[in-house]
C-alpha cells in the first residue's frame, strides 16, 4: 500500500469518530514551532563570552558542534529540510554576527549585528524570535537585572532594551511579530536573608526597560520564570509568582518552560488558566529528567498533553518554541526529533474528537470518556503523519536519518 492509500484508510477510521483528517493536516501546517538555534552549538554563541553560565548546562561531547555562523546556519538548514511545514527560528543575543575585527558588548548590540540572520530568514521565509542573553558573561557572574550593583543593573537594562530594538527590526523586516523572551539566572544557592530587595530591583529594572518606546504589536515581550538552577537551588529572583503578577499588571506575556516547575507540576495544566487571563501565552517545550535537564522533546505523555491544550485553547494564542540542548548525540538529529515530535503531538491533538470528549466530560460520563480516550491512542496517527510528511516534501518515517548520517560523514566529521 502506498502512503496515500494508507492515509485514505486512516481517514475512514477517523471519520467514524467524527474527525476530519484533511482539516487536521491543514491546521497542523499552520502551526509554527520556533526552532532554537542554541541546540546547534551547546549554547555557546558567537560573542566569545566563554563558558556557559547561569545554572544551565549542556552535557556530552558529541563531535561536530557548529563553531561559527556559517556552520550553524548550514546545520539549521539541514535540520529544517527534514521537518515538515514552515517554522520560525529562535535566536539569542549572543548569536550576533560581527564583521572581521568588529565586536560589541551586550549593551551595544544593534540590528546590524543581526542583519545576516535577517537575510537567512528572508531567504527561507521564516520569522525570528529573540532572547536577550543575561548569562555567559563576566557581568553576569553574580546577578543581572536584580543586582545590588547599580552599574551592573544598568548594563543589563541597556542590553534588554537593545534587544527590544533588535526584535523590532526582526518584526519589521520579516513582517511577523517577534516574541522576545527574558530569562535571567539570578538567585541564591542558600537560604536568602532578604528575598524582597532583589525582587524589588528586578521589578524596577523591568519597569525601566519597558518604559522605552516600542511597538507592542511587533514585539511580544515575555518573561520566563524558573523554580531553581544549578547554584541557585534555594531561591530564584524571577519566580513564577513574580513574573505572572508582573506580566499581568504590565500587559506583557508569561513564558512557561516545561522544565521550570516542581517535578510533579505540569505546564499542560497551566495553559488554560493563563489563557483565561492573557491574550497569549508563550511556551518553551523541553523535557526535564529529574531536574531542568533540557533533554530532547519526545512524543511522550506531557508533550501530547501540552499539544492538546494548545489545540483546544487556540493554536494562534500559544507561541510555541522548543528549548533543549543535548550535546551527547548528533545535534541535528536532536533538532529533527524534537521538532517532529512537537508536530506529532499537535497532530495527535488535532485528530481527537475534542468536542465529543468534552461533551462526555460535561455530562459526567467518565466511563465512556476513559474508554474512548484509551481506544483513540491506537488509531492510525502514523499513517496520517507519514502523509503529512509526503505532502510537505520531507522524508517519511525514519527515512530522514540517512541524510543525517551522510551529513555527519561529509560535514560534521571535518570539524576538528
Q: Which of 137, 284, 295, 308 is catalytic?
A: 284
Q: Which of 257, 302, 309, 326 is catalytic?
A: 257
249 catalytically annotated: no
Minimal distance, residue 162 CB to ligand RNT, in Å: 17
From the list Zn ion, ligand RNT, none, pick the one residue 56 interacts with, judged by a Cβ distance below 5 to 8 Å according to partner type. Answer: ligand RNT
Minimal distance, residue 175 CB to ligand RNT, in Å: 25
Q: Cβ closer to ligand RNT: 235 or 394?
A: 235
Give the residue from 99, 104, 156 showing the smallest Cα distance to 132: 156
213 catalytically annotated: no
Minimal distance, residue 383 CB to ligand RNT, in Å: 35
Using CB under 6 A, pick the residue from 168, 292, 309, 326 that binds ligand RNT.
Answer: 292
Minimal distance, residue 376 CB to ligand RNT, in Å: 32
Q: Does 323 bind ligand RNT (CB under 6 A)?
A: yes
292 catalytically annotated: yes
78 catalytically annotated: no
Using CB under 6 A, pick the residue from 173, 186, 257, 305 that binds ligand RNT.
Answer: 257
> Do the beta carbons of residue 97 and residue 60 sit within 8 Å?
no
224 catalytically annotated: yes
Q: Does 56 bind ligand RNT (CB under 6 A)?
A: yes
Residues that bind Zn ion (CB under 5 A): 257, 284, 323
Give the residue from 37, 33, 34 showing the smallest Cα distance to 325: 37
284 catalytically annotated: yes
Using CB under 6 A, pick the residue from 95, 183, 188, 220 that binds ligand RNT.
Answer: 183
Minimal distance, residue 322 CB to ligand RNT, in Å: 10
Give the residue from 139, 129, 143, 131 showing the smallest Cα distance to 55: 143
From the list ligand RNT, Zn ion, none, pick the one residue 302 interacts with, judged by a Cβ distance below 5 to 8 Å according to partner type. Answer: none
Rounded CA-CA distance 251/118 in Å is 28
Q: Does 117 bind ligand RNT (CB under 6 A)?
A: no
Q: Which of 294, 302, 305, 383 is catalytic?
A: 294
Q: Cβ closer to Zn ion: 18 or 263?
A: 263
Interface pattern 74-113 for ligand RNT (x via CB under 6 A): ----------------------------------------
Rounded CA-CA distance 416/412 in Å is 9
Give the residue from 262, 279, 281 showing the smallest Cα distance to 271: 281
Give the residue from 226, 272, 221 showing the smallest Cα distance to 250: 221
323 catalytically annotated: yes
Q: Cβ closer to ligand RNT: 142 or 397?
A: 142
240 catalytically annotated: no
Residue nearest to ligand RNT (CB): 183
Instruction: State how beta strands 178-182 and 187-188 pair.
Output: unpaired
- What cell was used for 332? 541535528
Minimal distance, residue 220 CB to ligand RNT, in Å: 15
186 catalytically annotated: no
| Region 189-248 residues binding ligand RNT, contact defined as CB under 6 A | 224, 226
Q: Does 284 bind ligand RNT (CB under 6 A)?
A: yes
- What cell was used for 97? 554576527
Rounded CA-CA distance 84/317 in Å is 21
Q: Cβ closer to ligand RNT: 226 or 308?
A: 226
Q: Does 326 bind ligand RNT (CB under 6 A)?
A: no
Q: Does 10 bind ligand RNT (CB under 6 A)?
A: no
Binding footprint of ligand RNT on the chain (CB under 6 A): 38, 43, 56, 131, 183, 224, 226, 257, 284, 292, 323
Active site residues: 183, 224, 226, 257, 260, 284, 292, 294, 323
Amino acid at each position: 500500500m502506498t502512503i496515500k492509500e494508507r492515509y485514505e484508510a486512516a481517514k475512514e477510521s477517523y471519520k467514524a469518530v467524527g474527525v476530519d483528517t484533511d482539516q487536521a493536516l491543514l491546521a497542523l501546517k499552520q502551526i509554527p514551532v520556533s526552532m532554537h538555534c542554541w541546540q546547534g552549538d551547546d549554547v555557546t554563541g558567537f560573542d566569545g563570552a566563554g563558558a556557559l553560565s547561569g545554572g544551565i548546562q549542556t552535557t556530552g561531547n558529541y563531535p561536530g558542534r557548529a563553531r561559527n555562523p556559517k556552520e550553524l546556519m548550514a546545520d539549521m538548514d539541514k535540520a529544517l529540510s527534514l521537518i515538515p511545514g514552515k517554522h520560525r527560528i529562535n535566536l539569542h543575543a549572543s548569536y550576533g554576527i560581527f564583521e572581521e575585527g568588529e565586536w560589541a558588548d551586550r549593551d551595544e548590540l544593534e540590528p546590524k549585528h543581526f542583519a545576516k540572520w535577517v537575510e537567512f530568514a528572508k531567504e527561507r521565509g521564516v520569522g525570528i524570535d529573540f532572547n536577550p542573553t543575561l548569562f555567559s558573561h563576566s557581568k553576569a557572574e553574580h546577578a543581572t537585572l536584580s543586582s545590588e550593583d547599580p552599574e551592573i543593573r544598568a548594563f543589563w537594562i541597556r542590553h534588554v532594551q537593545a534587544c527590544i530594538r533588535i526584535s523590532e527590526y526582526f518584526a519589521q523586516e520579516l513582517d511577523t511579530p517577534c516574541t522576545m523572551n527574558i530569562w535571567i539566572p539570578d538567585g541564591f544557592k542558600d537560604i536568602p536573608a532578604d528575598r524582597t530587595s532583589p525582587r524589588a530591583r528586578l521589578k524596577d529594572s523591568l519597569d525601566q526597560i519597558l518604559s522605552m518606546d516600542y511597538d507592542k504589536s511587533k514585539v511580544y515581550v515575555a518573561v520566563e520564570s524558573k523554580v531553581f538552577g544549578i547554584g541557585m537551588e534555594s531561591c530564584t529572583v524571577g519566580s513564577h509568582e513574580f513574573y505572572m503578577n508582573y506580566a499581568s499588571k504590565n500587559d506583557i506575556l508569561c513564558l512557561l518552560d516545561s522544565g521550570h516547575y516542581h517535578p510533579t507540576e505540569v505546564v499542560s495544566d497551566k495553559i488554560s488558566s493563563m489563557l483565561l487571563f492573557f491574550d497569549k501565552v508563550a511556551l518553551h517545550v523541553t523535557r526535564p529528567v529529574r531536574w531542568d535537564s533540557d533533554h530532547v522533546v519526545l512524543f511522550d505523555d506531557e508533550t501530547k498533553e501540552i499539544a492538546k491544550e494548545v489545540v483546544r485553547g487556540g493554536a494562534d494564542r500559544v507561541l510555541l518554541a522548543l528549548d533543549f540542548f543535548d550535546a551527547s548525540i548528533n545535534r541535528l538529529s536532536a533538532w529533527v526529533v524534537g521538532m517532529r515530535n512537537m508536530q506529532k503531538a499537535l497532530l495527535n491533538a488535532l485528530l481527537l474528537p475534542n468536542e465529543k470528549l468534552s461533551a462526555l466530560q460535561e455530562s459526567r460520563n467518565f466511563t465512556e470518556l476513559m474508554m474512548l480516550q484509551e481506544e483513540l491512542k491506537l488509531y492510525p496517527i502514523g499513517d496520517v503523519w507519514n502523509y503529512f510528511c509526503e505532502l510537505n516534501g520531507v522524508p517519511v518515517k525514519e527515512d530522514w536519518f540517512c541524510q543525517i548520517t551522510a551529513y555527519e560523514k561529509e560535514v560534521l566529521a571535518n570539524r576538528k
